[in-house]
Structure 1
Amino acid sequence: MDQVIEKLQNADNILEVTDLCKFFKAGRKQTLKAVDHVTIGIKRGETLGLVGESGCGKTTCGRTMIKLYEPTSGKVVFDGKDISTLKGKDLLEFKKNVQIIFQDPYASLDPRMTIGEIISEGMDIHFHFSEEEKTKRVADLLNKVGLSAEYANRFAHELSGGQRQRVGIARALAVEPKFIVCDEPISALDVSIQAQVVNLLIKLQKEFGLTYLFISHDLSMVKHISDRVGVMYLGSMVELASNYDLYGEPLHPYTQALISAIPMADPDGEATRERIKLEGEVPSPINPPPGCKFRPRCRYAMDICEKEAPKLIEVKPNHFVACHLCHQQHK
């Protein structure tokens, strides 16, 4: 595991996570393991996609990385600094440098504030702009996300879902961050709007040199925007590879099932290709099965899978998998 940590964490990273855990109490004696010993490094300027079924811990992982949730254990290092030790000005600087775009554009905007007030709220905390400078910056940010300056005087209920999400993006950009968690930013939008928002995020990343953690269920969109992709299952990282490798040759049985579910534009190809259907239900994160968490739904399960949880190991150059079968096949 030490070799994996060393491989995933290097000088090019803006954020490094080591053995990150986030557990929640579920009753008096039960614990829900939402994020269970996740190790990952995110390089400056890249987009890391994070995929998996609902409840696998993607959002909790993203929020814990940026201190919206306090980690149960593990270490998060941002820009060379352990975030658990940050205080005062250093903590304020960290909060400026990391932002989040929320999933629900209807719930994430204060209905009592104008759009201008929503976008400029962070500026009041981190900068000392005059009212004239603030108004100009809000207008400029609205323009960057494809809205006119007049939207600054409107309220959230006057906007469509796509327009609200653009405001959420402008709010995240307002404090000049380095790293943004995009928490399923397109899932609540019409299909016709989703591509526009994703292309906007790509454009802004190039313009401002941003780093993204892009969380989504839509594997096609993740493929479009991401440089590398991590696959989570029941709180754990089961596969991590470049966009090309993961979609071209998925190794973990769970990843293979996810990739096989992506619709194809070719009707003939869609009709003839193999679709991998997972049997059974997702185990409870409160009481996960022993050994490999995916074992009850895996068609390749072996005796060792019940006895020992597989570790995330590099089986090919920069391709990491937590699967006993893959480890044996790629020794």
Structure 2
Amino acid sequence: MKKDAKVLIEVKNLKKYFKVGPNATLKAVDDVSFFIRKGETLGLVGESGCGKTTCGRTVMGMYKATGGEVMFDGIDIHKLNKSEKKKFTRRAQMIFQDPYASLNPRMTVGDIVGEGIDIHGLYSGQERTDRIYNLLEIVGLNKEHASRFAHEFSGGQRQRIGIARALAIEPEFIVCDEPISALDVSIQAQVVNLLIKLQQELGLTYLFIAHDLSMVKHISDRVGVMYLGSMVELASSHVLYDKPLHPYTQALLSAIPVPDPEIERTKKRIKLEGEVPSPINPKPGCKFAARCRYAKPICKEKTPEFKEIEKDHFVACHLV
């Protein structure tokens, strides 16, 4: 990815709220902003329930935004009509977390991969068959697998089918929604390396959502850290991992295991104390204040601004 590559996705003050009662609102994504350049991978990390997946689905238009904009190549995807939305889905696809639940058990692998081709009328007859066979080979399967059903495959193979389905209509942008979290550890690196290889060969742009911080570092050009629906830090991968500024990012990174037993034994982990506040009708102030060891009175009174502290390094913290 070139540093001067044009911005393909720009998310501006994105909000996605859910009504969960007569006077209760769950703020799943709350005023999140970021951009992704063409050919780049932006990693999105955070604890379960922080809003990563909801953010990814709202970026894709699967959820209607409560507020803010998602600009794809200069067009707000939440203002598209039906025919324009179809054109957008030709250029943007998604790989889901659960490779079994996301595949229709009644369809053969060939029909699963070919469904997008049929919807967009890209190929027919022998061309369609050849395209499906080629996609299966690209992701590490073979053409004999086209006549089988999803339940006949392992988790890693199912995720490869999901990747082939996403690639079928030749998209530019793919949201990878925790594509490795349901897989065996021995398979995770294979899938991530496949995604890197496909990006290099096809010029793809990724939003890569995951729990595994070491895998995110491996695949991402830049990394964003979310906490309770808000972005708390965003920087290039090497800067974020070498010099984390937000206390939450520091705690997350301290929990990454180190393969060297000597270093692992002496490494200092930052343990977060206190209760995670509810994302329903959150109070003013920093959402992390109740668990932050550095919290000052201002942290509980005023919401910190997400601002650029250094070149391309954004943080939402009063103390930085």
- Report the TM-score range of the alignment, normalised by the length of the smaller protein: over 0.9
1:184 aligns with 2:178: yes
AA in 1 matched with 2:62 = L
Deviation at 1:93, TM superposition (A): 1.0
Q: Secondary structure at the match of 2:214?
A: helix
1:283 aligns with 2:273: no
**What does residue range 130-279 of structure 1 map to in structure 2 within 5 Å?**
130-279=124-273
Of 310, 317, 320, the residue aligned with 1:316 is: 310
- Tell me how far apart the structure 2 counterparts of residues 244 and 219 of structure 1 sit (CA, whole Å): 12
Q: Secondary structure at the match of 2:175?
A: strand
1:99 matched residue in structure 2: 93
Of 12, 20, 35, the residue aligned with 2:14 is: 20
2:33 matched residue in structure 1: 39
2:48 matched residue in structure 1: 54
Q: Which moved more, 1:76-85 or 1:229-238?
A: 76-85
- Tell me how far apart the structure 2 counterparts of residues 232 and 88 of structure 1 sit (CA, whole Å): 31
- Tell me how far apart the structure 2 counterparts of residues 130 and 42 of structure 1 sit (CA, whole Å): 34
AA in 1 matched with 2:229 = G
RMSD: 1.1
**1:17-39 deviation per Cα after TM superposition (whole angstroms, max 9, x unaligned):** 11100000111211000000001
* Number of equivalent positions: 317
Instruction: Spell out structure 1 runs of 4+ moving beyond 4 A.
Output: none
TM-score normalized by the length of structure 1? 0.94
Of 110, 118, 127, the residue aligned with 1:124 is: 118
- Tell me how far apart the structure 2 counterparts of residues 92 and 14 of structure 1 sit (CA, whole Å): 18
Deviation at 1:242, TM superposition (A): 0.2
Deviation at 1:11, TM superposition (A): 7.5
- Tell me how far apart the structure 2 counterparts of residues 91 and 12 of structure 1 sit (CA, whole Å): 22
**1:155-204 deviation per Cα after TM superposition (whole angstroms, max 9, x unaligned):** 00101100000000000000110100000000000011000000000000
Deviation at 1:85, TM superposition (A): 2.4
Deviation at 1:287, TM superposition (A): 3.4
Of 58, 62, 75, the residue aligned with 1:68 is: 62
Q: Give the unaligned 5+ runs of structure 1.
A: 1-9, 327-331
Q: Tell me, yes or no, if the aligned pair for 2:5 and 2:38 is still in contact at 8 Å.
A: no
AA in 1 matched with 2:104 = D
Deviation at 1:306, TM superposition (A): 1.1
- Tell me how far apart the structure 2 counterparts of residues 84 and 184 of structure 1 sit (CA, whole Å): 24
1:112 aligns with 2:106: yes
Deviation at 1:127, TM superposition (A): 2.4
AA in 1 matched with 2:140 = G
CA pair 255-128 structure 1, distance change in 2 beyond 3 A: closer
Q: Tell me, yes or no, if the aligned pair for 2:17 and 2:29 is still in contact at 8 Å.
A: yes
1:329 matched residue in structure 2: none
- Tell me how far apart the structure 2 counterparts of residues 25 and 277 of structure 1 sit (CA, whole Å): 33
Deviation at 1:88, TM superposition (A): 4.2
Q: Secondary structure at the match of 1:26?
A: strand
- Tell me how far apart the structure 2 counterparts of residues 109 and 127 of structure 1 sit (CA, whole Å): 21
**1:187-234 deviation per Cα after TM superposition (whole angstroms, max 9, x unaligned):** 000011000000000000011100000000000000000000000000
- Tell me how far apart the structure 2 counterparts of residues 272 and 45 of structure 1 sit (CA, whole Å): 39
Q: Tell me the percent identity.
A: 68
- Tell me how far apart the structure 1 counterparts of residues 59 and 113 of structure 2 sit (CA, whole Å): 23
1:3 matched residue in structure 2: none
Deviation at 1:12, TM superposition (A): 1.5
AA in 2 matched with 1:79 = D
TM-score normalized by the length of structure 2? 0.97
- Tell me how far apart the structure 2 counterparts of residues 128 and 75 of structure 1 sit (CA, whole Å): 30
Q: Give the unaligned 5+ runs of structure 2.
A: none
